[in-house]
Chain A
């Protein structure tokens, strides 16, 4: 069964980039959210298996959003994708339950590798 992915990023360009780069990857993208509040709503409704999550977002930032997602379903695999160079925030995200981490900008190869690890696939 394909894992179901939710993309969360306040930049539509970034969301499209992630979506485009994952086009060939064996995943079902079930939706996109432009901020934390929207993301929490969608997680609650659609219960995605995987979430890519930006950290700097309006309304509710990535860390708060991650906490909410973990409350809803602690098994959700969250991949942080951020441009933020601050490592402490990244480590806090791992503390809160994120299992993947990537810096922007992203490309298809890096995304595939990171998702292989996150989803424990052997990587084709």
Chain B
């Protein structure tokens, strides 16, 4: 119930409060007005009733007199009172007439209606007067009887008066009315007393019954007077005291005493009648006074009531109107304000903040309105701020976006972002399409995207790599070192044409709030630069070859080089000559011939330090070896010939260069010998380094030339040839692999010592290495295997003789052959050179520790011996 009330709209809530209030006010007003109206109508009616009552009392007063006179008349049997009676009857009739006139006047309509019954009854009693008077005139009734009959009429009249006036709500008036009623009753008894007295005095005697009646009348009269004096107001009692006194009153008292005390009443009845009438008249005046007073009072009350009625009515109406006006005004205003606020809040909630709410009242609603306006202002302020920020952000976004788009449209690199699922971002630079020749890029999985482009192993690595890139625990730089597509070759297809591209793909972490959000990938097409690089490196290689050629020429003694070149051309030419002569299918023989020549040339090239040619000859050697294992055909041999031609061409180029260089030397001659010496040593060091590298070993060649021996030109070539063969032998056979050396407690680097010294007639060359020395058993095995010696021969040989076996042609302890050793040519060449120059040698060794060879060459007086040039 309460909830239903509290849920009512404000309008209905007001109705619930105000309607009962209005009803209560109206009811109260009605009661007020009605009260005063009743007061008024009461007073008016009472006033009229009193007017009627007064008329009746006048009649009663006259009847009272008539009763007394009639009683006297009857008591002395018409002797006296005859005149008085007829006079009195006229008077009575005239008052009666007055009474009738009064009650028939229109003024009393309502009152007469109200008391119709009483008044009708009274009228019948008044009508009885005529019959009564007849009986009196004819003396048909006794005096007592007439008194009773008159009293009967008066009684009715008095009762009617009482009924008429005893109807008021005013307490004081009611009290005075009762006072007057008591007074009227007392007066009636006084009047009956007068009648009985008149009768008694007429008889000069009072009988017992009459006496009793008389005394009773006096007693009753007094008791009513007492009652009157108790309840009547001071004014009335004062008036009564003032009026009812004097001789006549005392005379009435005296004559009462006469009646009480004497049997014979000698006093004249007229006297009694006169004094008692005087007294009764006085009473009548008191009665009239009181009636007047009450009437005045009721009139006063009536006019007061009318005044009050109108005052209240006007007041009530005014108050009612004011209250209603106030209520409706306030409530309407309140409701209006509430509805304004309601509409306003509805507008705000709809997002319209453009207007203020205006409530002119200064009540809470007005304050709410102010607060609302403040709130709206605040909201507008923040909205303005927000809009400003938003506009700024929009501006920035547009600009940055615009710039990004321009960059993405024009940049040559492929740029895009990867998310954690390795998906390619929606936005990527335009270059992506061109690099990959692919339109489907955005949203693709990068692994799938790359799958057709790179090797499976690279793809596997790429996936793993991206996973690590997204791993926060992994250092970006560490991971980036392992980028598998840092540089990668891809094949793209466009219009059926497959293009090979070299791309560089770089990955950068993009952080947001310290978390890896994306990976930015940049792809650069480096095809052009890589091709250029390749081209450059080829050019560089070629240039290097040329430089090498020049350098190799410069480092080699020109005379030796000239000899080498001359010899080489001659030999190579012999190959083509032999080929031209060959008419049959003797290719294997031709091949073997060619091999021998090329091998020899290779050895020479190595000896003089011409790596370029050594390598070339080695290539040809390899090609021939490859052919030897199968049936050789002309076509195959042509390839060899082509290679031979190539070698020839190279030699021709070198010869030409040499020619140019010699021309330079001719212009700027230098000290030939020492230059040659330095060059030889340098080329030996280079040779050693080269051989060691190919063998996977490291060596250090030390030259000791404490005596500053300068090799004569004659010996430079042989010295160099011998040394290079010995060095090759040492590195291939003597010096162990680094691991072996380490195990044996040797330094990893093998040491080779070449020491020059001389005496007066001889030149000493000490060659020493710290390799494994000579393995006699292995030499023996090899000698048997190669068919150089039989086992029996070996058994009889001395150690030095066995050592000498290594100088045999075709002896080699190595199992495979390459440019350095293995074909049993090296030591044989040394031996040949020694023989050629009448040199001697001595070999010592310590197995597992060292090998040493001391060469002695005779010093010649003059340099007659010259190489072929």
A residues neighboring B (CB under 8 Å): 87-88, 90-92, 94-95, 99-103, 114, 117
CB-CB under 8 A from B474, the residues of chain A are: 94, 99
CB-CB under 8 A from B477, the residues of chain A are: 117
CB-CB under 8 A from B460, the residues of chain A are: 88
Q: How far is the CB of B506 from chain A (nearest CB, A)?
A: 14
CB-CB under 8 A from B481, the residues of chain A are: 90, 101-103
With A88-B457, A94-B474 as contacts: A101 and B482 at CB distance below 8 Å: yes
**For residues 455 through 508 of chain B, which have their beta carbon under 8 Å from a beta carbon of chain A?**
457-458, 460-461, 464-465, 468, 473-475, 477-479, 481-484
A102 to B477, CA, bound (A): 10
A117 touches B482 (CB 8 A): no
B482 touches A90 (CB 8 A): yes
B475 touches A117 (CB 8 A): yes
What are 9 A-B interface contacts by the 8 Å CB criterion?
Answer: A88-B458, A88-B460, A90-B481, A91-B465, A92-B464, A94-B468, A94-B478, A100-B475, A101-B481
Q: How far is the CB of B465 from chain A (nearest CB, A)?
A: 6
A99 touches B461 (CB 8 A): no
Q: Which residue of A lies closest to B480 (CB)?
A: A101
A90 to B482, CA, bound (A): 7
Q: How far is the CB of A77 from chain B (nearest CB, A)?
A: 11
Per-residue A-contact encoding for B837-868, CB less than 8 Å = 1, 0 else:
00000000000000000000000000000000
The 8 Å CB contact of A94, one of B457, B458, B479, is: B479
B residues neighboring A (CB under 8 Å): 457-458, 460-461, 464-465, 468, 473-475, 477-479, 481-484
CB-CB under 8 A from A100, the residues of chain B are: 475, 478
A117 to B475, CA, bound (A): 8
A92 to B474, CA, bound (A): 13
B475 touches A87 (CB 8 A): no
With A91-B464, A91-B465, A94-B468 as contacts: A101 and B484 at CB distance below 8 Å: no
A90 to B481, CA, bound (A): 9
Q: How far is the CB of B481 from chain A (nearest CB, A)?
A: 5
A88 touches B478 (CB 8 A): no
CB-CB under 8 A from A94, the residues of chain B are: 464, 468, 474, 478-479, 482
B475 touches A99 (CB 8 A): yes
Chain B CB count within 10 A is highest, among A87, A100, A114, for A87
CB-CB under 8 A from A87, the residues of chain B are: 461, 465, 482-484
Q: Which residue of A lies closest to B483 (CB)?
A: A87
Give 4 A-B pairs besides A91-B468, A92-B464, A94-B464 with Cβ atoms closer than 8 angstroms.
A87-B461, A87-B483, A88-B461, A91-B465
CB-CB under 8 A from A92, the residues of chain B are: 464
Does more than half of chain B's interface fall in helix, strand or loop, or is it mixed?
helix
B464 touches A95 (CB 8 A): yes
Q: How far is the CB of B359 from chain A (nearest CB, A)?
A: 67
CB-CB under 8 A from A91, the residues of chain B are: 461, 464-465, 468, 482, 484
A62 to B464, CA, bound (A): 18
Q: Which residue of B lies closest to A114 (CB)?
A: B478
Q: Which 9 A-B pairs have the closest CB atoms?
A: A88-B461, A91-B464, A90-B482, A87-B484, A87-B482, A101-B478, A117-B475, A91-B482, A87-B461
A23 to B474, CA, bound (A): 27
A88 touches B475 (CB 8 A): no
Q: How far is the CB of B773 from chain A (nearest CB, A)?
A: 26
A120 to B481, CA, bound (A): 18
A103 to B478, CA, bound (A): 11
A94 to B457, CA, bound (A): 16
A88 to B456, CA, bound (A): 11
A114 to B481, CA, bound (A): 12
Q: How far is the CB of B451 from chain A (nearest CB, A)?
A: 16
A114 to B482, CA, bound (A): 14
A99 to B472, CA, bound (A): 12
Q: How far is the CB of B298 from chain A (nearest CB, A)?
A: 119
A100 to B332, CA, bound (A): 84
A99 touches B464 (CB 8 A): no
Q: How far is the CB of B213 from chain A (nearest CB, A)?
A: 147
Q: How far is the CB of A91 from chain B (nearest CB, A)?
A: 4
CB-CB under 8 A from A90, the residues of chain B are: 481-482
A94 to B469, CA, bound (A): 11
Q: How far is the CB of A15 from chain B (nearest CB, A)?
A: 14
With A94-B468, A94-B474, A95-B464 as contacts: A88 and B484 at CB distance below 8 Å: yes
A103 to B474, CA, bound (A): 17
Q: How far is the CB of A38 from chain B (nearest CB, A)?
A: 17
CB-CB under 8 A from B475, the residues of chain A are: 99-100, 117
Q: How far is the CB of B631 from chain A (nearest CB, A)?
A: 43
A11 to B468, CA, bound (A): 30
CB-CB under 8 A from A101, the residues of chain B are: 478, 481-482
Q: Which residue of B lies closest to A93 (CB)?
A: B482
CB-CB under 8 A from A99, the residues of chain B are: 473-475, 478
CB-CB under 8 A from A95, the residues of chain B are: 464, 468
Q: How far is the CB of A3 from chain B (nearest CB, A)?
A: 17
A91 to B474, CA, bound (A): 11
Chain B CB count within 10 A is highest, among A92, A101, A117, for A101
Q: Which residue of B lies closest to A120 (CB)?
A: B475
Q: Which residue of B lies closest to A88 (CB)?
A: B461
A92 to B467, CA, bound (A): 11
A99 to B479, CA, bound (A): 9
Q: How far is the CB of A104 from chain B (nearest CB, A)?
A: 12
CB-CB under 8 A from B473, the residues of chain A are: 99
A100 to B477, CA, bound (A): 9
Q: Which residue of B lies closest to A102 (CB)?
A: B481
A32 to B465, CA, bound (A): 30
CB-CB under 8 A from A88, the residues of chain B are: 457-458, 460-461, 464, 484
Q: Which residue of A lies closest to B485 (CB)?
A: A87
A60 to B477, CA, bound (A): 28
A95 to B482, CA, bound (A): 12
Q: Which residue of B lies closest to A13 (CB)?
A: B748
Q: How far is the CB of A118 from chain B (nearest CB, A)?
A: 8
A87 to B457, CA, bound (A): 10
Q: How far is the CB of B475 from chain A (nearest CB, A)?
A: 5
Q: Which residue of A lies closest to B474 (CB)?
A: A94
CB-CB under 8 A from A114, the residues of chain B are: 478
CB-CB under 8 A from B483, the residues of chain A are: 87
Q: How far is the CB of B199 from chain A (nearest CB, A)?
A: 154
A95 to B473, CA, bound (A): 12
A57 to B823, CA, bound (A): 36
Q: How far is the CB of A68 from chain B (nearest CB, A)?
A: 21
Q: Which residue of A lies closest to B465 (CB)?
A: A91
A100 to B458, CA, bound (A): 21
A101 to B483, CA, bound (A): 12
Q: Which residue of A lies closest to B468 (CB)?
A: A94
A105 to B584, CA, bound (A): 59
A117 touches B478 (CB 8 A): yes
Q: Which residue of A lies closest to B463 (CB)?
A: A91
A99 to B474, CA, bound (A): 7
Q: How far is the CB of A19 from chain B (nearest CB, A)?
A: 18
CB-CB under 8 A from A117, the residues of chain B are: 475, 477-478
CB-CB under 8 A from B461, the residues of chain A are: 87-88, 91
A100 to B474, CA, bound (A): 9
A87 to B505, CA, bound (A): 14
CB-CB under 8 A from A102, the residues of chain B are: 481
A101 to B468, CA, bound (A): 13
CB-CB under 8 A from B482, the residues of chain A are: 87, 90-91, 94, 101
A100 to B479, CA, bound (A): 9
Chain A CB count within 10 A is highest, among B458, B481, B484, for B481
Q: How far is the CB of A9 from chain B (nearest CB, A)?
A: 15
Chain A CB count within 10 A is highest, among B475, B477, B478, for B478
A102 to B479, CA, bound (A): 10
Q: Which residue of A lies closest to B466 (CB)?
A: A91
A91 to B463, CA, bound (A): 10
Q: How far is the CB of B284 from chain A (nearest CB, A)?
A: 139
Q: How far is the CB of A80 from chain B (nearest CB, A)?
A: 9
Q: Which residue of B lies closest to A98 (CB)?
A: B478
A7 to B207, CA, bound (A): 173
Q: How far is the CB of B697 from chain A (nearest CB, A)?
A: 15
A88 to B465, CA, bound (A): 8
